[in-house]
Structure 1
Amino acid sequence: MRRPIVPGLLAALVLLAPGARAAEEVVTATLTVADGQAVVEVTVAPGWHVNAHDPRDDFLVPTTLTLLPPDGMRASEVVYAEPVERRLAFGGDRPLRLYAGHVRFTARLEGTPAAGAAPLRAALRYQACNDSRCLPPRTLELVARGERLSSPAGALTTGPVETRVRDWIEGSGYALTFLWVALLGLALNLTPCVYPLISVTVAFFGGATGAAGRPVVRALAYVLGICLTFSGLGVAAALTGSMFGAALQRPAVLAAIALVLIVLAASNLGLYSFRVPAPLMRRVGRVGEGVLGAFFMGLTMGIVAAPCIGPIVVALLLFVGARQSAALGFALFFTLALGMGAPYVGLAAAAGRLRRLPRAGAWLEWVERAFAFLLLGLAVYFLAPLLRPGTVRAAYAFLGVAAGIVLGFLTPGGRRTARWSRQLAGLVLVVVSLGWLISADAGSPITWVPFSEAALARATAAGRPVLIDVGADWCLPCREMERTTFRDPAVVRTAAAFATLKIDATAGDERVQAILERFNVPGVPTYLLLDASGRERRRFVGAVAAQDMLGAMRELVPAEARGG
């Protein structure tokens, strides 16, 4: 009678094995080279899907393929498979763009690999979900020779700022990226570190300092000096690899960058006057005459302007350092320098007729204040990895409202038509910012406390049961739970008797991974219910209906403590 038990157990293990394996190997991929192109074959396990490379919602993690060709070769833009559109239970009425089953990504390869070059490599980043839960984002490292290396689930291979810059650049394309970089360089001339020096530079080009020769030639030498300084910085970032990325994963560094940006913005808003030290102004005026002097002025301009332009170009340094391409670093920073130096060529051409820069009238005050809000926006951008998503959204909305009021209504001067246009634009900006803030997903009225050992110990000491919510910003089922189950009146009332703790798995850093391993969390959302002694009594993996959650919660609290 006992013999049938063994085959029965074996059969059960065979049936259960695919489900256990799915959590670790939901997505598999191979990288091959055929007919002059790189081919990545991706297989998604049945019942699972990954987001498309261009999901409709910004908070979703896109599937991206980054090719690292060997020296001597270049990879063209990746051609992604056509995604499918599917409505999911937790996705609302709008269909989601997904990859499921078997898909293929390709990219044309050009050139000939150098002797002894490393093999073609690729990094496939994705985030897998099924109908009720999502796994942390993963990155598969692929090698064309068939060897596949994968990072641990949820492990971060890049810093948060670097990842966002990489996704933006790869999504926008390099043509648009170079255009924006050039415009950024042009805007840098309005920073308080650079603008005060323009009059000295124009005087030098126009011969006010006694210099002889053609002003345009000196201007070109000046721009060449700027280009060499910036391009050298870009190449250095590429050659030193991920040094910048490692630094920007430290909260203190991000906070310091944000503080510098806020201080500079305060100057542009007129809260104090930022002036270049007089000795430095005199030194710049004595750098020498002619083309050589102009070239030296261009070389030192990057150093003089570093306090203002340094924080702005850090994101570019991160991207270049991650790609480790000296050519790309040179091109991006050369473009930035051209954007910054191009106006000087025009000023040099008009040096004989331009006695001074435009007076610091209403137009310049408006431009300086607009640039101040740009700097404040960048400060929020760098602080975003340290703040909760709701706080970041509120900060951006506040900046939009403040910019609309200050730029539209509080900046004096200008003709009547221009003033009306400015006020109308400011009113539109205020309305759009407030609408964007209000349109945010309605959260749960339950007050969640970030998980910590101390918080858990306090709950146990107080004899309170504990509800732990393990979620992430990129988890659609988590967002659906916030809108449905955790807004149910009975659930909200019963939750008042619990210590409600939240584990945010968005970043997936070492601390979060240690907590997830402690509670053996396979994916998000996961909900743990602990009794008053701290023992786990119930566990839900994936989205759960309000009645099921309410029933489990009521098992841990007496009727008189359930509220309402």
Structure 2
Amino acid sequence: MAWIFTRFSFFLLLLSISSAQAGILDSLTEGEPKFLPVGEAFPYQTDQQGSQLSVIWDSADEYYLYRKKILLKQDKTKYLADSFSEEGLLKHDEAFGEVIVFYGQTEAIFDLKKLIPEQSVQLRFQGCADAGLCYPPQKIDLDIDWAAVKNAPLKSLTPTETTLKSTTSADNRLSKDGTSEGNWFEGRSWFSIVGIFFLLGLGLTFTPCVLPMVPILTSIVVGQEKHTPAKGFVLSTTYVLGMAITYAAAGVTVGLLGAGANISNWMQTPWVLSIFAVLFLVLSLSMFGLYELQLPSKLRNRLNDINQKQKGGNLFGVFLMGVLSALVVSPCVSAPLAGALVYLSTTGDAWLGGSALLALGLGMGAPLIALGTTGASFLPKAGGWMDTVKAFFGVLLIGVAIWLLSRFLDATLILVFWALLAIIYAVTLGALDKANSGKQNVVRGFALALLVYGIVALIGALQGNDDPLNPIAATQYNGTGSAQQHAAESPFQSISNQQQLDQAVKIHLAANPNGAVMLDYYADWCIACKVMEKEVFHLSDVQQHWPELLWLQIDVTDQTSEQVALMENYTLFGPPSMLFFTKDGEKSTLRILGEMHKEEFVEHLNKVKATL
């Protein structure tokens, strides 16, 4: 019996020790948070009604969802929610910085009409706990009733008033630099948004978006036999309406189809630009009197019956020229415009998209109307001078053709074109002739200056230079007399798809935890891209400013499926655009959309560094 008592006593001793250990461990771990499984932290349910998909989350207390992480993914295309039911809150997140988050119950609405039928669809979302745990992105395959989507009536999904208020209350404070996408527009009334777009159009007047249209419009006014302010007003207004209605059509398309609808980029392909360059060249020949530009006689006679003196035919041609100018001559992506397009693409509202971009086009065209109206009264009367003026505008149209070609041809070859144009026009003006009067001396002086420029530009092109404003590249020397080059080689490494981007970012940040990766979107037809490449990116001091920065570049000139996907994945509408990636992910509030000068770019790099 003694041995039984001994073993029983030993068992009680072990039990007491284990109980004491458990109590000690419980006391040690009492302060540590216990996290829920993702399914309990973010329970959800889906409901499809026709072409509308509703996803409702009921997040646990002290757990939240990221607004920008809630989306549908189909193949390589991402579709943001069209509206939310709950207010978003501004929160400083350790992983993503200033973000909009949802606590408690949240409903997201998606318009399935935007998706490609019969293809698989994933619901994606991501959330975190206030205690510090961030869950990985969730990917859920959805079973979509495509027959119901097909049979559902086409309608626009407009975010509710609550949604607009919630997004503006946070997004408007995301970035003091104004780079947050759409933060100027969310939460505003229809009239406010349209008014802002009109002001944006006025602001774009003296940019490459509008300036190339000036010689086109002035050549139209000059080409008339009798130019009066009233006629100039009608012609310029018709031209601007063609341009503005084209923008409105683009706005409707973006509102319905989202970021994937980017007709302007397609219109920048080399073969399209070549066609329109030839068109402007042919139009310029009519300004030199080589032929009369008019409609076929049968159509012209029919228009005569409808509208006297061929006004209908002329106005139709002017309207068509406005349409073509908006599509081909004006491929502009600036910071406010890019943010506006991002906002419109997420509303699903065709009416808002169309009216907003119509206002943008009218704003851009208002100064053109003023120029066409007042300029007509200052033009010389018909006579010998008129032929000279028409020839001048013909040269401007040739300049537009060369400018279009510069988007994809070698820059040195383009400099040759500018040089030849200057030389030929200088000779035409009488640079080599003897002047017989004071007026002829003035014209001959201008022609001689133009001739000298043309010769210098041609010499510069033969030396391999490519800048029309600085055809003879100046080489500076240091104190020892040796040449000092300020331009360095391109710092960029080329990538072509999302997989290459992800791999490059992963490798670089693993080796440089306090570094960053910049992805530059470039295209041969993007004038601002070429300006930044020459005046910013190729400067050695800019490249050396942040040694831990990896420079990546994707060339979207050809608009291949992979290139388009890499723009759509980040809701971009075209170059120039620059994204920054750090160990915390893509810094969406620190994007560069549009052209920047050297000093602005260096300051922006410092802002990115300050977030590390």
Normalising by structure 2, we get a TM-score of 0.39
TM-score scaled by structure 1? 0.41
Larger radius of gyration: 2
